[in-house]
Amino acid sequence: MSENPILRSIENQEWLQPIEHKGPELIRNAFAAAGSAGQAAKNVLHGVWLKHPLHAAITDVPVGSWTVATALDVLEMRGHPEYRSGADAAVMVGLIGAIPAALSGMTDWSEADGRAQRVGAVHGILNVGAAAMYAGSYAARKSNKRGLGRWLGFLGFGFVLASSYLGGELSYALKLGTNHAPDPEGELPHDYTAAIPEAELTEGKPAKATVNGTDLVIVKRGAQIYALAAKCAHLGGPLPEGELEGNSIICPWHGSKFCLEDGHVENGPATSHQPALDVKVENGQVLVRAQRG
C-alpha cells in the first residue's frame, strides 16, 4: 500500500477493478489480432524507435498547448480581445496532440502491473475528462459563446493538472516507464569476472548467474556464449525464465524482446536496451565484463 494518501485512496477504489483487469486485455488483444502490423504499431507507440517512452515526450504537446490557452484566456478576460485567436488555436493544437498521447499512454498502460494499472486507469479517466472539456470549449468558442468556452477550458485545465500529478507519480513513485535494468557503469563488472562454469550451460537454455551481486542471464548458442543483465529493463522481469527466439530472448512478463549480442530492443514494451556483457571462456569458466563501446 502506498504512503501517498492520494495513491492510497485510488488503490482502495474497488470500482476500478473491471477497468484495470479488462482494459489492458482488450488493448493487447487488439494489437495481437493485427499480427506483425500490430506489433509494429506497439513498438512505435511504446517508443522503441525513440529509445525512450513516447508517452512521456508527447504529453508535452496537449499539456503545453492547454497551458498557453489558459494564459491567453485570462488575458482576454482582462480586456485583451487580441488574444482570442491564439487561445482558440492553442485549444485545437492540444486536442490534436491528445490523440497520439492517449494512444501511447493506453499502450504503455496495457503492459503495466499491480498498482500502476489502477492509478493509470484514473490518470486516463482524467485525461478523457480534460479532452471532453476542451472539445466542448472549442465548440463553444466557435459558436460565439466565449464565456462558456473559457470556463470549460478552465475546468479542463483542472483535469490536466490532476492528471499530470498522477502521471508524475506513475513515473517516479511507481516506476512505470523507467529503466529497471542494472546500471552498466556501477553494477556490472568492468574486468573479466567468473560467472558460471561452462559445463553448467545447456545449448539453447538460458541460465542464471550472479556476479558481484548482479544477476545475469547466460545463453549458449552453438560455439557462442552471450550474457545480458537478468533484470528486464521494462519492469524488472526475470530474463533467465524467458524464451529464446533465434538470436534473441523474450521476457516472460510482458514480451519485451532483446538481441543477445548487444541487448538492443527488438520488440517493446521495453524502450531501453538491456545491458550486455563481453564473454570469454578460460579454464572451463565463463568470464564476463560490461561491454565496451
Asked whether the predicted pLDDT for residue 130 surpasses 90, the reply is: yes
- If one compares 87 and 115, the residue with the highest pLDDT of the two is 87
Candidates 268, 291, 265, 266; CA nearest to 278 is 291
pTM over 0.85: yes
C-alpha grid cell for residue 223? 560455439
Number of other CB atoms surrounding residue 262 within 10 Å: 13
Candidates 167, 131, 135; CA nearest to 149 is 135
Report pLDDT digits (tens) over 5-39: 999 999 899 999 999 889 999 999 999 999 999 99
Task: Output the CA torsion 41→183→241→222 (10° steps).
Answer: 90
Which pLDDT does position 1 carry in this prediction? 55
Percent of the chain with pLDDT over 90: 90
Sort 156 into a burial class: Cβ within 10 Å, 0-12 / 13-18 / 19+: buried
Q: Stretch 56-79: mean pLDDT, rounded?
A: 96
Confidence of residue 2 (pLDDT cuts 50, 70, 90): low
Report pLDDT digits (tens) over 175-218: 998 999 999 888 999 999 999 999 999 998 999 999 999 999 99
Side chain identity at residue 65, one-letter code: S
